[in-house]
Copies of this chain bind each other. A is one copy, B any other.
Amino acid sequence: MSAEQTTETERPVRADARRNRMRILEAARELFSHERPDVQMDDVARLAGVGVGTVYRHFRDKHALMGALVRERFAEFDERLREAVDADAPDPFAALCEVLRTNAASLSEDAATRYALMSGGERAFAYAIEEAEEFMRLSEILVGRARAAGSLRVDFDAEEIPMIMCGVCSTMDPGKPDWDWRRYLELILDGMRARA
């Protein structure tokens, strides 16, 4: 982010600081990949091998830390979407489904982004606004093509995609190990398909 860049009169960021920032993010990724979104700042610090104070030096608060993860994840989503758009495959609906499946798989090991998509996560989500906008822009392109191809139901709108992702996320909780979110997603994808 530009806030981290040095201007001509400032010193460059110290090497240890840069390293610690990476370690903190890595620790947070690791913890959020297994646990619920109630990961604690102290745990992140411990796993990263730094003090809590250092975590707060790099991230204003917990929302900012989670926000950084959300931002990474949405950047990944955007890249995936961009590839699908650029590939311009003959079956755009299949491409859209595939993107949604892969995104869901990513979300299944990222409780931070799941939380951001679901209730209460707005503050973390605010750190990924640009990525989210790009996400919608690209989604609309793909949805438009799939609809034009006649494989996606005509009344489907790209705006519904975040809602769908949220719904799928809600079925991924570690507390419900016997729920099969893949199955659930397929149900929804079938619902999106144009009727014969």
List of B residues within 8 angstroms of A188 by Cβ: 187-188, 191
Decide: A120 and B36 in contact? CB cutoff 8 A.
yes
Interface size on A, residues (CB 8 A): 33
- Is A20's CB within 8 Å of the partner chain B? no
Decide: B120 and A175 in contact? CB cutoff 8 A.
yes
Chain A at the B interface: SS class:
helix
Decide: A184 and B170 in contact? CB cutoff 8 A.
no
Of the candidates B36, B160, B186, B195, which one forms a contact with A184 in the assembled complex, judged by CB atoms under 8 Å apart? B160
Binds B, one of A126-134, A141-149, A161-169: A161-169
Assuming the A-B contacts A36-B119, A170-B169, are A184 and B196 also in contact, with contact meaning beta carbons closer than 8 angstroms in the complex? no
A12 to chain B, nearest CB (A): 40
In the complex this chain forms, how many copies of it are found? Answer: 2
- Is A192's CB within 8 Å of the partner chain B? yes
Taken together as a complex, chains A and B put the C-alpha atoms of A137 and B29 apart, in Å, by: 41
A113 to chain B, nearest CB (A): 14
A111 to chain B, nearest CB (A): 9
15 A-B contact pairs sorted by A residue (CB < 8 Å): A36-B119, A36-B120, A120-B173, A153-B190, A163-B171, A163-B179, A163-B181, A164-B187, A166-B176, A167-B168, A188-B191, A190-B190, A190-B195, A191-B192, A196-B196
Q: Which residues of A contact B (CB under 8 A)?
A: 36, 118-120, 122, 153, 160, 162-164, 166-171, 173, 175-176, 179-181, 183-184, 186-192, 195-196
